[in-house]
Chains A and B, each alone.
Chain A
Amino acid sequence: MKNLFRALINRFSQKREPGLPKGPTHIAGVPSAKFISYVIVGMFVLFVVTFYLLPILNLVNVSLKTSSDFSKDPAGITKTLHFANYSEILVKNDFFRNFFNSVFYLVASSVLTISITVLAAFVISRRYVRFAGFFYVLFLAGIFLPNPLIPQFYLLLKLNLYNTPLGYILLKTNPGIIMLMMVGFYRTIPKDFDEAAALDGCGSFRYVIQFVIPMSKPIIASSIILFSVGIWNDIIGTTIFLTSKRFYPVIRAMFEFQGQYGTDWPPLAAAVFIVALPIIVLFIFFQKYIISSITAGGIKG
């Protein structure tokens, strides 16, 4: 017991580092720089908790209340775990169909976009086509040009693809920023690989499938994430180009529930959380990937 005390005292006294002289700037009564930085970090933490965590927790909280509970005590912590809100949204409102729609749009357009972009980015970055620089600038220019929504709408109308999933998917199959990211990535891979493979008699299709695509795994992963989040959250495109309820993706259906449920927030909150949950889960697992790919996309743009 005695030894334990001594050990504890030693431990704490060591932390004080009595041997070190105090800096000349330290005056009694004036808070030290370290103290100030603790206060700043504390305020920051408080701010983020209040403004970022609480609103999201509030959403989850409300989504688990019964409607009568909500009208009696809207802000209080839920006393029930009323999962019926979720089943009401999913089953009664056919939210499963919307969910499936979203997944379908997401998979179809990202598979299409990524596969065509990988190939084109490869030949552009390697300058295997003439005017490669021009094509690069062309894709770059797309970011700065006027908003294409109105002619896109007209185009789909004329192609008889307005209000069809196919039309929407084709419209979303847009290399855009992903092209710039991929070209940037391929430039870091030495061209010698291509020449070595060619010398060994590898054909170009085999090279693309066996070397280029496996090499680009990291950039493909971040492109898929970046792209999927964009499609999942696309409210404007789905509002304009998909007007039939049966084609609605989750985000659009959730937005429509607002009119349907009005002030009956618990089921509405459940719908919002169903939309948000896949992204939150994805974000928890791939946080570093997502942040780096989205910021890289932004910086390149």
Chain B
Amino acid sequence: MYPFRHGTRIGRMIPYFLLLPALLAFCIFYLFPSIATIIFSFTDITRTGYKPVTFVGLENYLDFFNPANFHDQGIALKNSIVFTLLVVIIQNAIALGFAIILNKKWKTRGFFRATLFLPVVLGITVNAMIWKLMVTPFGGPVHDLFRDLFGLNLLFFADPYMAFPLIVFVQVWSYTGYSTVIFLAGLQAIPVELYESARVDGANAFRQFRHITFPLIAQAFTVNMLLAVIGALSTFDTIYVTTNGQFDTNTLAMYMFKLAFISEGGSGRSEGRLGFASAVATILFLLILIVAVVVQRFLRRREVDL
């Protein structure tokens, strides 16, 4: 019950007035557009918008899965899955290792924790530029290293075979600090006494990890897995700022973004087709939802409480 009684009707409405601006802003500019994506996916709405919009039923979805022109979608779907698997596994494995090292007491570890975290706040565009500068064929140190050591003249982001792994690398590089910090918080919540009694019982380092650390950071593990899966599946800024989807690096999210907003000329089939792009966005949403639910179910089971 609202304790601030004013007696009048308007007075009792005050809490609602306080709620209203945030609710309106959220609904108009975020919630409704989110839901409208699903509605758009059943229409032939375009970016130019000269034609009247008509409902086309499932046509966009049928078009997406149409085997005759599945090429682009197939690559995007495959890339999304490979990208997500690689990012989730590598990022969490490295982050867990880093967190264990940072959980030990040693001097200047705060500095290294901060350095690891820095890319998270620097943002993906700056990160991508930093690495483009490292590997540029025009004097990037990494490029020159490969040239001098192995006599290779690699193109890195402009190489069809290297672009995709490099994007995975930039993504992992950007967010490992984030996962590390979450693991670290999980590790620090484990009471030291558990390790002490395990040591008394003669458990070695591996057994301590297997039977104490691993079960007790399960919650942090779930959070990290979920964030990495959702993040990797819905990421397109990383790809936009590195290769712009060239060299077969489109993922589903990037494909959606490209269909809707990047006009390249050429293949006229997909220019500004917001309806079709919305269908891609909806398919991606369903994919994320399914994967997130499965991951959550699977991981929550092994969580234990202290």
Contacts and interface: CB of A to CB of B under 8 A. Distances in A.
Contacts of B198: none
Given A56-B130, A150-B274, A151-B40, A145 B34 contact: yes
B22 interface: yes
B156 interface: no
A74 B32 CA distance: 50
B299 interface: no
A298 B182 contact: yes
A279 B119 CA distance: 10
Given A113-B25, A235-B237, A268-B133, 7 more contacts: A52-B115, A56-B118, A144-B288, A204-B15, A235-B241, A236-B257, A299-B223
Smallest CB-CB A-B distances: 8 pairs: A74-B139, A233-B123, A120-B22, A148-B33, A198-B3, A151-B33, A151-B36, A145-B34
A121 B34 CA distance: 22
Contacts of B282: 146
Contacts of A203: 4, 6
A201 B95 CA distance: 53
Interface in A75-134: 75, 112-113, 116-117, 119-124, 128-129
B173 interface: yes
Contacts of B182: 295, 298-299
B16 A116 contact: no
Given A145-B31, A145-B35, A139 B26 contact: yes
A204 B4 contact: yes
Contacts of A272: 126, 129-130, 133
Given A74-B144, A203-B4, A279-B121, A117 B30 contact: no
Interface in B222-238: 223, 227, 234, 236-237
B140 A74 contact: yes
Interface stretch (A11-19, A169-177, A214-222): A169-177
Interface residues of A, number: 98
Nearest to B278: A150
B18 A283 contact: no
Contacts of A44: 98, 101, 112
Interface in A226-279: 229, 232-233, 235-236, 239-240, 251, 254-255, 258, 263, 265, 268-269, 272, 275-276, 279
B261 A174 contact: no
Contact of B19 (A120, A142, A239): A120
B233 to A, nearest CB: 11
A213 interface: no
B205 A150 contact: no
A258 to B, nearest CB: 8
Contacts of A116: 21-22, 25
A139 B274 CA distance: 26
B78 to A, nearest CB: 20
B29 A170 contact: yes
A149 B257 contact: yes
A275 to B, nearest CB: 6
A151 B256 CA distance: 13
Contacts of A124: 19
A240 B32 CA distance: 19
A222 to B, nearest CB: 13
Nearest to B26: A175
B160 interface: no
Contacts, number: 260
A139 to B, nearest CB: 7
Contact of A233 (B30, B125, B274): B125
Nearest to B21: A116
B37 interface: yes
Given A52-B115, A265-B138, A147 B22 contact: no
Contact of A207 (B4, B28, B117): B4
B34 A142 contact: yes
A51 B173 contact: yes
B21 A120 contact: yes
Interface string A160-181: 0000000000110111100100
B162 interface: no
A183 B122 CA distance: 27
Nearest to B292: A144
Contacts of A138: 26, 31
Contact of A171 (B29, B257, B278): B29
18 contacts: A41-B106, A45-B112, A62-B133, A71-B138, A74-B138, A120-B18, A120-B23, A138-B26, A144-B292, A146-B282, A148-B36, A152-B33, A154-B36, A154-B274, A263-B138, A272-B130, A279-B121, A283-B118
B204 to A, nearest CB: 9
* Most chain B beta-carbon neighbours within 10 Å: one of A149, A236, A239: A149
B93 to A, nearest CB: 14
A74 B136 CA distance: 10
A32 interface: no
A247 to B, nearest CB: 16
B138 A174 contact: no
A86 to B, nearest CB: 16
A149 B284 CA distance: 13
Contacts of A176: 26, 30
Contacts of A282: 121
Contacts of A152: 29, 33
A48 interface: yes
B187 interface: no
Interface in B196-245: 205, 223, 227, 234, 236-237, 240-241
B139 A151 contact: no
